[in-house]
């Protein structure tokens, strides 16, 4: 869903690299008239990008200047959107976590007044026993009863596409929609994607003036938000079903038309390898795509017949489609990013059970079922904790063994299930990098820059995934990058890498520092040592032993010294250090060589990219960045095998 495209489709998309937040902002700055939002992690990037567009004087597709309003709270931003929409405007909002919950009373009124706004959510865990700003579905499930449509994206591509689909469905049915992506896991992960063409967006959603109706029209008076007592409130509430009865058709129509125009297929659900499956994993958001790649890994190795059901639309809930997809399996497991201990079941599990109950009782519109599969329900990924391929394997093994009906993955707990497998679910021939750094040293920005350059120069698919959190405190942090010839479906920390970047030598205090580095892989270490012997002798003994055993290649360079010598101001040193690493990456990896790009041609292309990125600042900035890349490329040196194996005398 949303990952492929057809060259024969009228609008196949514009190849680009972007994270989920940037992709959403790209769409919204083209099709809306304004946004009202209050910053809250991890949705802030969407609002920032929109505000930058406003500051730059951007207009939408119909030449209208954009407006951005930041009131004093998330609650006020929702109220501002309500007023904007009531006046006939096309408006957006970006929020997460407590911000979304704070809006809740306004969300009911927006739905009740039939205002077809679209809010974009970076789904985040809610503060309960502790504060957490990372991925969780607590916030969106906390507002699932407010009368809004609710769509879940698996990746940045879907976040962009579903922004358009939600807008069209909302305005066709006069029902507001949430477009949900996993906080940080999707909002902040840079991926290769196809951005919708302006011509597609203009055609697909149409101009606001033709699609929206102002309630605040002095020539046609309309009462809104009146008091309704015992005699009338219930009448008005039940009368709302007139609109809700059309939401499903409006959403399916929007998805079908988008599929026809782009070749990227969307539906209320996406069954994956379920035709012959005996077992299934059901999920929403990024975990569903990780599960799909893991299912392929299992089947390729002769594993059990297992499939995946990704639920894209939680509201309206696609009960008949879910039953149709799952009725042939022996058992299925529902994996959710929240935990509601006092409920009969967690939200998605409860909806699916109710759907099967309706089908079993012969409810209209449901397929016939002769049995209800065994239902397993689990939690994972709460607070941004990884949902890894090994966890999907554990879920499948648990069903095979008819194990825990209620389970959790990824932690140590009496409910936890585990697997010893460590699947590598990357595309064939993928190349991955893991960086060890200290927060605040520009490493995450560097990782994204390398991804953008690699995509632009070599035409590969990229995914740059940061482990956010501790970097704000200056503590150790990791970042991950994968390059491949196909779409990358891994939405978690990488367990297998070919290239290890050690910006902070303290990483070697932990034996996990080399975990997952493939035999024959490469280590680059930031070092003030200027000789191979000095670099080698600085390694702890256990690292030296592992390098010999795994036949690891070792590279080194003092990127800090180069950055200090090139940067025109002290505040640029940290960023320039990362630019030097770009040169190291281009020299150490095989992509330029495989593409037949020589040194001079390579730097011409790098210069073109740097001018596109930094040309607005000054010629000096471009030149300094290019000098850092050149020096990283030319000055990085290798620790020879003679030193590694002790055939040379250490100096």
pLDDT, tens digit, for every residue of 411-446?
999 999 999 999 999 999 999 999 988 765 566 777
pLDDT, tens digit, for every residue of 448-503?
889 999 999 999 999 998 887 655 566 778 899 999 999 999 999 999 999 999 98
- Band of pLDDT at residue 651, cut at 50, 70 and 90: very low
Report the mean per-residue pLDDT for the chain.
Answer: 94
Give the closest residue to 26 by CA, choosing from 48, 3, 57, 55: 48
Q: What is the pLDDT of residue 574?
A: 79
Q: The tokens 């009146």 sit on which residue?
A: 226
Neighbours of 424 (CB within 10 A): 16
Angle at 469 between CA 468 and CA 474, to 5 degrees: 105
Q: Note the residue count of the chain.
A: 651
Tokens linked to 184: 């940080």
Neighbours of 449 (CB within 10 A): 23
Q: The tokens 């306004």 sit on which residue?
A: 106
**In contact, 110 and 141? CB cutoff 8 Å:** no
Give the closest residue to 534 by CA, choosing from 620, 458, 643, 609: 643
Query: Which residues share a beta bridge with 494?
Result: none
pLDDT, tens digit, for every residue of 357-384?
999 999 999 999 999 999 999 999 999 9
Q: What is the pLDDT of residue 577?
A: 85
**In contact, 383 and 132? CB cutoff 8 Å:** yes
Q: For CA atoms 405, 411, 417, 419, give the dihedral sign.
A: positive
Alpha carbons 404 and 398: distance in angstroms, whole number: 7
Q: The tokens 């101009």 sit on which residue?
A: 207
What is the side-by-side strand order in the sheet with 306-311?
Answer: 269-272, 306-311, 279-283, 331-336, 374-379, 406-408
Q: What is the pLDDT of residue 224?
A: 80
User: Residue 77: what are its φ and ψ, rounded to 5°?
Assistant: -65, -35
DSSP state for residue 125 in the 8-state scheme:
P
Alpha carbons 71 and 280: distance in angstroms, whole number: 45
**86-103 average pLDDT score:** 97
pLDDT, tens digit, for every residue of 576-624?
888 999 999 999 999 999 999 999 999 999 999 999 888 888 899 899 9
Tokens linked to 240: 């709302």
């Amino acid at each position: 869903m949303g990952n492929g495209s057809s060259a024969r489709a009228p609008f196949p998309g514009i190849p680009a690299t972007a994270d989920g937040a940037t992709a959403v902002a790209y769409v919204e700055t083209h099709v809306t008239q304004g946004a009202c939002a209050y910053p809250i992690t991890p949705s802030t990037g969407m609002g920032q990008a929109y505000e930058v567009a406003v500051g730059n004087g951007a207009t939408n597709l119909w030449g209208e200047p954009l407006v951005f309003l930041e009131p004093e709270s998330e609650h006020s931003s929702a109220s501002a959107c309500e007023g904007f929409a009531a006046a006939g405007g096309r408006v957006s909002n970006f929020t997460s976590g407590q911000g979304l919950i704070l809006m809740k009373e306004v969300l009911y009124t927006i739905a009740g007044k039939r205002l077809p706004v679209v809010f974009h959510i970076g789904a985040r865990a809610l503060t309960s026993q502790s504060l957490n700003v990372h991925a969780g579905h607590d916030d969106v499930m906390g507002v699932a009863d407010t009368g809004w449509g609710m769509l879940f994206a698996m990746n940045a591509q879907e976040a962009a596409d579903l922004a358009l689909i939600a807008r069209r469905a909302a305005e066709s049915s006069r029902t507001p929609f949430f477009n949900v992506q996993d906080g940080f896991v999707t909002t902040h992960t840079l991926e290769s994607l196809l951005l919708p063409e302006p011509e597609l967006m203009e055609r697909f959603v149409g101009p606001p003036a033709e699609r929206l109706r102002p309630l605040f029209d002095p020539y046609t008076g309309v009462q809104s938000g009146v008091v309704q007592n015992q005699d009338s409130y219930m009448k008005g509430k039940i009368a709302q079903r007139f609109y809700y009865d059309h939401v499903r058709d409006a959403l399916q129509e929007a998805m079908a038309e988008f599929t026809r125009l782009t070749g990227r297929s969307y539906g209320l659900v996406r069954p994956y390898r379920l035709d012959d499956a005996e077992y299934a994993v059901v999920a929403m958001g990024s975990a569903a795509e990780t599960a799909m790649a893991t299912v392929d890994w299992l089947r390729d190795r002769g594993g059990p017949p297992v499939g995946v059901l990704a639920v894209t639309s939680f509201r309206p809930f696609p009960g008949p489609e879910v039953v149709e997809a799952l009725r042939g399996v022996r058992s299925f497991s529902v994996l959710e990013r929240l935990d509601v201990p006092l409920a009969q079941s967690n939200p998605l599990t409860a909806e699916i059970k109710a759907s099967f109950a309706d089908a079993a009782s012969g409810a209209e519109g449901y397929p016939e079922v002769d049995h209800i599969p065994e239902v397993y329900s689990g939690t994972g990924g709460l607070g941004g904790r990884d949902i890894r391929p090994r966890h999907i394997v554990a879920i499948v093994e648990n069903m095979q063994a008819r194990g825990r009906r209620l389970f959790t993955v990824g932690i140590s707990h009496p409910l936890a299930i585990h697997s010893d497998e460590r699947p590598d679910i990357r595309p064939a021939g993928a190349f991955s990098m893991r960086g060890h750094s200290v927060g605040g040293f520009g490493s995450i920005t560097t990782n994204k820059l390398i991804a953008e350059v690699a995509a632009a120069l070599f035409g590969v698919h990229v995914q740059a995934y940061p482990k956010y959190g501790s970097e704000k405190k200056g503590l150790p942090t990791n970042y991950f990058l994968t390059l491949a010839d196909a779409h990358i479906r891994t939405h978690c920390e990488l367990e297998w890498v070919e290239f290890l970047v050690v910006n902070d030598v303290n990483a070697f205090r932990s034996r996990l520092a080399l975990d997952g580095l493939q035999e024959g892989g490469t280590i680059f270490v930031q070092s003030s040592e200027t000789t191979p012997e000095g670099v080698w002798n600085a390694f702890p003994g256990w690292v030296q032993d592992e390098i010999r055993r795994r036949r690891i290649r070792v590279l080194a360079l003092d990127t800090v010294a180069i950055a200090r010598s090139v940067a025109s101001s002290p505040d640029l040193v940290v960023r320039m250090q990362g630019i030097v690493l770009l040169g190291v990456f281009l020299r150490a990896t095989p992509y330029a060589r495989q593409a037949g790009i020589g040194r001079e041609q390579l730097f011409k292309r790098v210069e073109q990219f740097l001018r596109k990125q930094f040309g607005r600042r000054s010629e000096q900035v471009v030149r300094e960045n290019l000098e850092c890349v050149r020096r990283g490329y030319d000055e990085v040196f290798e620790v020879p095998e003679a030193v590694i194996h002790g055939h040379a005398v250490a100096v």
